Amino acid sequence: MRIGIVCPYLWDIPGGVQAHVRDLAETLIGLGHQVSVLAPGEEDSPSLPGYVVAAGRTVPIPYNGSVARLQFGLVSATRVRRWLRQGDFDVVHVHEPAPPSLSLLTVLLADVPLVATFHAASTRSRFLTMFDSAVQAVLERLSGRIAVSPSARKMIVEHLGGDAVVIPNGVSVAAYAGAEPLPGYPRDPALGGTIGFIGRYDESRKGMAVLLGAMTELVASRPGVRLLVAGRGQQQDFLDKLPESLAGSVVMLGMVSERDKASLLRSVDVYVAPNTGGESFGIILLEALAARTPIVASDLPAFRRVLDPTDRPSTEDGSGAARPRAGWQQVRAGLIFHNKDSSALAEALERVLADRPLREQLAAAGAEVVRPYDWQLVAAQIVRVYEIAIAATVRI
Amino acid sequence: MLSAGWLIAAVCVAVLLTLWITLTLTRLDRLHARVDAAQSALDAQLVRRAAALLQLAERSDPRLPVERIIDLTSTARAALALRQWQDPERQAVENQVGRAIAGLQADRARLPADAVTELVESATRVMIARRFFNDAVHDTRTLRARRMPRLLHLAGHRELPSFFDIDDTSTFADSPPPDQHPGPPA
């Protein structure tokens, strides 16, 4: 199949959508399809892989909490047209077609079967409500819609009308399972254990404050416990504000590459996701599962859905699950602690760090849970959607 | 001077209105074509699913009791016999196919594996194709329900498309239903 994929965000800035598009494109190429990705960016950028076509310069504008790339105008339109003509695609797959973006522009210009993937679960995207009828005129050109999570699907049903097929994010399971640990890791468990955290630690909804609270409790009984932190943030600021008792226990790794992220996950005894809210999918949990690292996570529907697939809430948004009112609870592939409760988190961490058979049991269950999310299988589901979208489209 | 100003304004309004009507007519044309294409795609998947059920039933002898095989066969044949989309029985018959497939869940291990794989695949495709069809119907109905297209009768005499409502949530798969945990059928 000749497949065109449109990524609305700059290729060289790390982000969930970019990673999704890259992995999807590479998996599809591996399956023998012809794939071309159109993304904003300078044409002569040397860092672009061979399958990416640059769509030219963009104007950054803040959109929905992050920075979208405004891409309208004759130059961009010409490049999109040229890409469509040269690619002669059987299907074009746009990601996050919120206005104003390269994805939306492609939807307007393409006369081929169109599939769109919606990543955001945010219900606050103002554009969608502001230009309701105009957005409708564009989105009605899509033959098929994919949502990456039940909550993203809920956003579509409630705010755009219509429906979507849920296909989750994928994980390159083998890459995580086979990653080399960081030099010097994994440490001897007798030293007190190693805990991992990845994310923007100075953003409050990522829950670092909850984790630090738990660490201060934990360090009293386990003086050698160590926390590895990777991600974007004001490092010096963060270290200055650190409680004195944790001075030697926190190791900052800064921003890490995809490969180092896998290595970090392979280096720690337990991965913590203390997020207080706003997570739609929890891809990092899948990555930790793929790395066979036990997980302690806060009680969010998205996390619960990943860690406990047998616990099936009756509602599609996952809000029907029973919550621990306090403390923590062991589920199939991890421990879930009461949201924002540092003491509960400390107890759950102590439990995992003290119990090697439990860690092994969680790692084995995790490998089972993550299997359906392997990119090979996820890409096969997406190809199935392409085939039906092609059958459900008339070429005009 | 005043009348010239009014004339220009009137011409502008007329031009804009014409542009808008042309655009809306194009949209309606596209949408109706999309509904037709999505309908034939769904139709094809429904036929494939019924055929898969028939195939499975015929090959399950003697792994299932004779009366169940007769039951499954007649359900599948009833669906295959309905070739008209408009048939008022269609949704009820397809629902029976869906229930028959869900009812096979307990016997899954005893059934021929490749026939089961085909049945799971075709049931998943029905689910996707139905969603895409209902999306097309939804988009068409939304535009036709707006005030101006309705008043100006822009849809002409084309029939208002209706949703295809069957229960396809109970898929026949060992993974949980696709909407909660979209695992691929094993």
Whether the Cβ atoms of residue A381 and residue B173 lie closer than 8 Å to each other: no
Would you state the pLDDT for residue A316? Answer: 41
Report yes or no: A309 at the B interface, CB cutoff 8 Å.
yes
In a domain, A289, yes or no: yes
> Do residues A178 and A166 both lie within one domain?
no
Distances (CA, A) of A205 to A15, A250, A382, B25, B27: 17, 20, 31, 47, 42
pTM of the model: 0.82
- Alpha-carbon torsion angle B18, B23, B28, B30, nearest 10: 140
User: With the C-alpha atoms ordered A309, A313, A314, A319, is the resulting torsion angle positive or negative?
Assistant: negative
Angle between helices B2-59 and B113-145 (to 10 degrees): 160
- For chain B, list residues whose CB is within 8 angstroms of any CB belonging to chain A: 27, 30-31, 33-34, 36-38, 40-42, 44-45, 124-125, 127-129, 131-136, 138-140, 142-143, 146, 175-176, 178-184
B175 chain-A contacts, CB cut-off 8 A: 372
- A161 and B139 in contact by Cβ < 8 A? yes
Residue B173, Cβ density class (10 Å: 0-12 exposed, 13-18 middle, ≥19 buried): buried
Of A316, A389, A394, the CB nearest to B132: A389
Give the separation between CA A378 and CA A168, rounded to whole angstroms: 7
Q: Verify that A163 and A215 share a domain, yes or no.
A: no
Higher pLDDT, A326 or A147: A147
Does A56 share its domain with A105?
Answer: yes
* Number of C-beta neighbours around residue B145 at 10 A: 10
Average pLDDT, integer, range A58-73: 58
Same domain? For A205 and A80 the reply is no
pLDDT reading at A70 higher than 60: no
Asked if the structure places residue A396 within a domain, the reply is no
pLDDT of A289 strictly over 80: yes
Residues A61 and A35 in one domain: yes
- Out of A139, A316, A380, the one facing B180 most closely (by C-beta) is A316
Domain ranges, residue A304: 173-371
Asked whether residue A153 falls in the same domain as residue A164, the answer is: yes
Tell me, what's the pLDDT at B85?
A: 83
Residue A124 lies in a domain: yes
Interface contact A226, partner B, CB < 8 A: no
pLDDT tens for each residue of A300-357: 888 988 898 765 543 444 444 455 666 889 999 999 999 999 999 999 999 999 999 9
Confidence at residue A44, expressed as pLDDT on a 0 to 100 scale: 66
Q: Residues A273-300: what's their mean pLDDT?
A: 89
The tens-digit pLDDT sequence of chain B (186 residues) is 568 889 999 999 999 999 999 988 999 999 999 999 999 999 999 999 999 999 998 888 778 888 888 888 899 999 998 878 878 888 899 999 999 888 888 888 888 888 888 999 999 999 999 999 999 999 999 888 888 888 888 878 788 888 988 887 665 554 443 343 333 333
Distance CA A38, CA A51 (A): 9
Alpha-carbon distance of A230 to A199, in angstroms, equals 6
Determine the pLDDT at residue B150.
Answer: 82
Total number of domains constituting chain A: 2
Does residue A52 belong to the interface with chain B, where contact is any CB pair within 8 Å? no
Q: Assess contact for B42 and B126: CB atoms under 8 A.
A: yes
pLDDT for position A61: 60
State whether the Cα torsion A297-A301-A304-A305 is positive or negative: negative
Angle at A383 between CA A381 and CA A384, to 5 degrees: 65
Indicate if A140 and A110 belong to the same structural domain: yes
pLDDT given for residue A232 in this prediction: 86
Average pLDDT, stretch A170-192? 88
Question: A92 or A302: whose pLDDT is higher?
Answer: A92
Query: In the Cβ-directed half-sphere of A219, how many Cα atoms lie within 13 Å?
Result: 16
Q: What is the CATH number of the domain that holds A43?
A: 3.40.50.2000
Give mean pLDDT, residues A84-96: 94
Predicted confidence band of residue A2 (pLDDT cuts 50, 70, 90): very high
- Contact criterion met (CB < 8 Å) for A392 and B41: yes
Q: Are residues A67 and A180 in the same domain?
A: no
Interface predicted TM-score (ipTM) over 0.95: no
Residue A35 maps to a domain: yes
Q: Which one of B135, B139, B164 makes the best mutation probe of the A interface by having the most chain A beta carbons within 10 Å?
A: B135
Q: Which of B26, B35, B180 to mutate to test the interface with A (most CBs of A within 10 A)?
A: B180
For residues A263 and A295, membership in a common domain is answered with: yes
CB pairs under 8 A between A and B: 106
Binning pLDDT at 50, 70 and 90, where does residue A282 land?
A: confident
Q: Which residues contact A319 (CB under 8 A, 6 or more apart)?
A: A301, A313
- For A34, the token pair is 């012809």
Q: What residues form DSSP beta bridges with A67? A: A62
Q: What is the mean pLDDT of residues A252-256?
A: 89
Residue A123 sits in the same domain as residue A207:
no
Q: How far apart are CA A31 and CA A270, in angstroms?
A: 34
SS3 B100: helix
Nearest to A157 by CA among A170, A169, A145: A145
Q: Is-contact A251 A227, C-beta < 8 A?
A: yes
Residue B175 confidence (pLDDT): 45
Residues A30 and A123 in one domain: yes
* Average pLDDT of the segment spanning A164-190: 88
State which H helix or E strand residue B168 sits in: none
Domain match, A124 and A179 both: no
CA-CA distance, B104 to B114, in Å (whole number)? 15
Name which of A68-77, A85-94, B93-102 the model is least confident about: A68-77
> For residues A332 and A305, is the Cβ–Cβ distance under 8 A?
no
